[in-house]
């Protein structure tokens, strides 16, 4: 039972990582860029959702369920907007630059976005100071008392995250494989030059990749807020690193791989924290295990669990 409990905890944690990891993998699949600032897009998504609630929901202390899709929409608008701006003004001019340039830019974007939120979020009238953690609105049905299934305690927020992951995965799967745009994305990731010749607007596809990743990151941001009950401007850093690990573990560029990788990382983290005996167990070391996995994957299976379609461009 203890094992099952840890499995459930791990899966729901992993669902968060998976939602973020898709963003890394989609962008990498198209332009072979590690969008290091994606963790910050996730953070912006959470803050966008919070702002939406502050604007429309907090006045009458309304915490009913209809707020959830509205907050999600607000978060997605914020994160997609930031991701598109970032693509347009930071990455696009560097598309033919040496490989070091976009990576350094990404670090700059990451620091810049964190500081922007830290310094200026509280300046907006009615918004709390973002230099400390901000409590996230708790919505009935989603963050109420935990559900008990035969001794197994499942937090409602955890369940919400898992359901969100399943729904997003299905929508994404249908979109990529059935829609014209989705197939154009696949074509671009296989061969951008030929796709361009076939009449695909590659710039639009790249923007689309950033937008998809950002929208899923906003879902993750909302789920994170509901699960951990508060958010802060630093939340994207470690979460982004772990999600990147998930993407590499699954095989970067492979969307299904990112989901599987995310779930595996989540489960490993939960299990390692619970079962490693002695001093190296426990929550003090919980952030280390994902990175240990990252290094192990790169040694033994750099193409990832499910293998990636992208050619290694070493």
Partner 1 sequence: MTPQSRLLNPETQHRLHPTGRLIALLGGLLLVVSPFLAWAYSSAALDDMTVYGYPSPIQFFCLALGVILLGLVAASWRVKGGRFQVGWVRGAKAAGTGVLIFMILIIGVIALELGGLVNVLWGGWIAFLGAIAAFIGTRLMAAEDRLPTLERATLPAWLEILAIAVVMGAVLFAAAYALNLDDGGGFVIFLTFVGTVIAVMLRIGAMGWFSAVSRRHRQVLILAAFVVAFAFPFTQQGSDANMSIATQVIIFAATAMGLNIVVGLAGLLDLGYIAFLGAGAFTAAILSESAFSTVDWHPPFIVTILISGGVAATLGLIIGSPTLRVSGDYLAIVTLAFGEIFRITMNNLDGTDGPLLTNGSNGIPGIPGFNLFGFEFDDPHTVLGIPLGRFSNYYFLLLIFLAFVILVFTRLNNSRIGRGWVAIREDEKAAEAMGVNTFGLKLFAFASGAFLAGMAGAIKAHADISVTPDQFVFLESAFLLAAIVLGGMGTVLGVLVGATLLKLLPEKLRFVSEYRLLAFGLLLILMMRFRPEGLIPSQRRQLEFHEEDEELAERIEEEVEETGALKGAGAL
d(CA 250, CA 246) in angstroms, rounded, equals 6
Burial class, 308, CB count within 10 angstroms (exposed 0-12 / middle 13-18 / buried 19+): buried
d(CA 281, CA 270) in angstroms, rounded, equals 11
Question: Does residue 197 belong to the site contacting partner 1 (CB under 8 A)?
Answer: no
Question: Does residue 308 belong to the site contacting partner 1 (CB under 8 A)?
Answer: no
DSSP alpha helices (H): ranges in the chain? 2-31, 38-52, 67-86, 100-120, 156-178, 180-190, 192-197, 202-228, 235-250, 255-275, 288-300
Number of residues that bind partner 1 (CB under 8 A): 50
Question: Does residue 244 belong to the site contacting partner 1 (CB under 8 A)?
Answer: yes
Q: Could you give the angle at the alpha carbon of 134 between the alpha carbons of 128 and 138, nearest 5°? A: 110
Question: Does residue 110 belong to the site contacting partner 1 (CB under 8 A)?
Answer: yes
Beta bridge partners of 149: 152
- Residue of the chain from 51, 52, 105, 169 that contacts partner 1 (CB under 8 A): 105
Question: Does residue 306 belong to the site contacting partner 1 (CB under 8 A)?
Answer: no
- Enclosing H/E stretch for 231: strand 230-231
Question: Does residue 36 belong to the site contacting partner 1 (CB under 8 A)?
Answer: yes
- Residue of the chain from 69, 126, 144, 302 that contacts partner 1 (CB under 8 A): 302
Site mask for partner 1 (CB under 8 A), range 66-95, x = bound: ------------------------x--xx-
Question: Does residue 124 belong to the site contacting partner 1 (CB under 8 A)?
Answer: no
Can you give the binding site for partner 1, defined by CB under 8 A? 32, 34, 36, 90, 93-94, 97-105, 107-116, 119, 237-238, 241, 244-245, 248, 279-280, 282, 284-285, 287-288, 290-292, 294-295, 298-299, 302, 312-314
């Amino acid at each position: 039972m203890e094992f099952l409990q840890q499995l459930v905890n791990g899966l729901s944690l992993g669902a968060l990582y998976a939602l973020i990891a898709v963003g890394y993998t989609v962008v990498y699949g198209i332009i072979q860029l590690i969008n290091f600032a994606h963790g910050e897009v996730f953070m912006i998504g959470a803050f966008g959702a919070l702002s939406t609630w502050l604007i429309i929901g907090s006045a009458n202390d309304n915490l009913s369920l209809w707020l959830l899709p509205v907050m999600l929409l607000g978060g997605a608008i914020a994160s997609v907007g930031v991701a598109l701006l970032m693509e347009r003004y930071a990455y696009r001019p560097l598309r033919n630059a040496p490989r070091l340039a976009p990576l350094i830019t990404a670090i700059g974007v990451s620091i810049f976005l964190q500081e922007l939120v830290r310094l200026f979020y509280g300046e907006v009238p009615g918004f709390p100071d973002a230099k400390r953690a901000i409590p996230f609105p708790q919505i009935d049905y989603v963050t109420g008392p935990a559900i008990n299934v035969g001794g197994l305690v499942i937090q409602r927020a955890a369940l919400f995250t898992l359901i969100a992951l399943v729904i997003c995965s299905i929508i994404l799967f249908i979109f990529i494989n059935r829609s014209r745009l989705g197939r154009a994305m696949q074509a671009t990731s296989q061969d951008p030059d030929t796709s361009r010749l076939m009449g695909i607007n590659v710039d639009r596809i790249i923007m689309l990749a950033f937008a998809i990743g950002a929208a899923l990151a906003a879902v993750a941001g909302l789920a994170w807020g509901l699960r951990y009950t508060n958010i802060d401007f630093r939340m994207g850093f470690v979460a982004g690193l772990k999600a990147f690990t998930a993407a590499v573990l699954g095989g970067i560029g492979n969307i299904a791989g990112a989901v599987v990788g995310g779930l595996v990382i989540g489960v490993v983290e939960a299990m390692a924290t619970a079962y490693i005996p002695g001093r190296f167990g426990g929550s003090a070391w919980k952030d280390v295990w994902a990175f240990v996995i990252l290094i192990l994957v790169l040694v033994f299976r750099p193409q990832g669990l499910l293998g990636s379609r992208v050619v290694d461009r070493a």
